[in-house]
Structure formats: structure tokens, C-alpha cells
Amino acid sequence: MVVGVLALQGSFNEHIAALKRLGVKGVEIRKPDQLQNVSSLIIPGGESTTMARLAEYHNLFPALREFVKMGKPVWGTCAGLIFLANKAVGQKLGGQELVGGLDCTVHRNFFGSQIQSFEAELSVPALASQEGGPETFRGVFIRAPAVLDVGPDVDVLADYPVPSNKVLYSSSTVEIQEENAMPEKKVIVAVRQGNLLGTAFHPELTADTRCFLCRHSYFLKMMSEVGEGTSSGGKGTSSG
Ligand code: GLN
């Protein structure tokens, strides 16, 4: 089994190392024709504007969109999640090109800047059912995005309460609301839509091997469910 890892920028080496620990070969993808050699893809975290510029430079967007449309399994972590979203907000310097396909709106820097990065114990029921183990694992959030809304075909795998000391951004205007204005509000941090998986956090960076393996094995399991894809993915079949 060979998994492609978009290797323009960001934590692609960490993803390849994680796959290696699972006995899976990860290959670096930098050019459009290299996508023909793989049947699944991980888009790593990093900095999505930089990644988009590099993807544009290498003329990767059409091939990435085609890959997604063919229903091949694609997992975006953090900046990779932003790449996969149909819409991104919270961009100070205007828009950036997205691959799209994942029917959701993402706020690029919802949880703040580098110094506001954090780790948190998340509840992910899909992990318990997929792995037969506990459903909690530690999410590493680095300048992390959040999913603000999802379309009907998107399954929410994990959410996280908006911390009371954080401001909340509305999806359409990015206007800052009062602290604690919506104390019960949760934002979505992991989603799946058929062949597409998105996580706002970095499972490839955690020292918790169990979580690490769980996240990756969720993707590997998803790959076997989805196969090599033939068409644009609909709602994912969640097995158990
Ligand atoms: N918020 C970052 C961006 O806009 C992503 C951060 C990450 O991938 N760790 O690209």
C-alpha cells in the first residue's frame, strides 16, 4: 500500500514517518503527474497560503481537484483541511486558492496564533467504534483552524468547546463577537465526507502513540472502505 503525501511545505516528513511506523509507504508528491502513482493522499499541516502558492507554481490544483473528484481517499490535516474546504474565512490578506470538495466553511486561524497553540483531550466516538478502543485522544492544535459549518453530506467526527477566553468568529463576516457570548458553542475539529477526511489538529505530531496510530489507522480503514474511488464522494459509510 502506498500513500501519497503532498510535500510542498509543512509536516509531510512527520506524516511519512507515521505511515512508516504502520508499515505503509508514504511517497512525496510535488508534481501533478506523481498523483497518478498513488491511490490516496495526505495533505499535511503547515501554512496554507504558502502551500497554495507552491501548488499554483507547480500547477497542482487541477490534478488535486481531479483526484478528489475521482473519489480517492484524501486526508487533510490543519492547513490540509483548509485546502480541502469549499470555503475559507479569516484571511487577513484576501483569499487563497483552495482544492475544495469538502462541503464546509473553515476559519483559517480560529484558535489564534502560534502562541495560542494548545493540546486537548478530544472525544471521537468514530475512533472507538472503528478501533474497538477508547474514543478519547490528544489533539495537537497549532495555529489551528476550525470548521464553522458543514453541508448535509458531512459527518462530524469531533468537536471542541470554544474556550471562554477566546473570541468567536462568525462564518460569514469574521466579525468578532463578545467573549462568552455563546458559552455553549462548540466548533467542529474533525469531519468526514465520503472519501474526504479533515482534522484541524496534528495527529502526526503527538507523542501519544495510541492516538497517533488510531488516527492513522482510521484513515487506512477509510481507504479500504472507499477503495480507489470512481466518482465524487457522497456521504461516508461509517462502519459500526
Ligand atoms: N492556520 C494555518 C493556515 O492558515 C494552518 C496551521 C497548521 O497547519 N498548523 O495555514
- Set out the domains of the chain in order of their start, with CATH numbers: 2-226 (3.40.50.880)
Active site residue 228: no
Task: Convert the pLDDT of each residue in 45-76 to its tens digit.
Answer: 999 999 999 999 999 999 999 999 999 999 99
Q: Specify the ligand 1 atom closest to the Cα of 49.
A: 10
**Predicted confidence (pLDDT) per residue in 74-103, tens digit:** 999 999 999 999 999 887 656 789 999 999
Query: Which residues are CB-neighbours of 81 under 8 A, at least 6 positions away?
Result: 102, 106, 145, 147, 191, 198, 199, 200
pTM of the model: 0.85
pLDDT in tens, 3-41: 999 999 999 999 999 888 878 899 999 999 999 999 999
Give the Å distance between the CA of 48 and the centre of ligand 1.
6
Q: What is the pLDDT of residues 147-190, one digit of tens each?
A: 999 999 999 999 998 765 555 444 433 444 544 444 557 889 99
The answer to whether residue 204 is catalytic is yes
Q: Which atom of ligand 1 is nearest to the CA of 10?
A: 8
Q: Ligand 1: residues within 6 Å at CB?
A: 45-48, 78-79, 82, 108-109, 142-143, 145
Alpha-carbon gap, residue 134 to 47, rounded angstroms: 31
Q: Which of 50, 47, 61 is nearest to 11 (CA)?
A: 47
pLDDT in tens, 98-143: 999 999 999 998 988 888 888 888 988 877 765 566 778 789 999 9
Q: Residues 204, 211, 214, 216: which is the catalytic one?
A: 204
User: What's the pLDDT at 207?
Assistant: 52
Atom of ligand 1 nearest to the CA of 45: 8
Cα of 132 from ligand 1 centre, angstroms: 31
- Per-residue confidence (pLDDT) for residue 239, from 0 to 100: 33
Known catalytic residue at 107: no
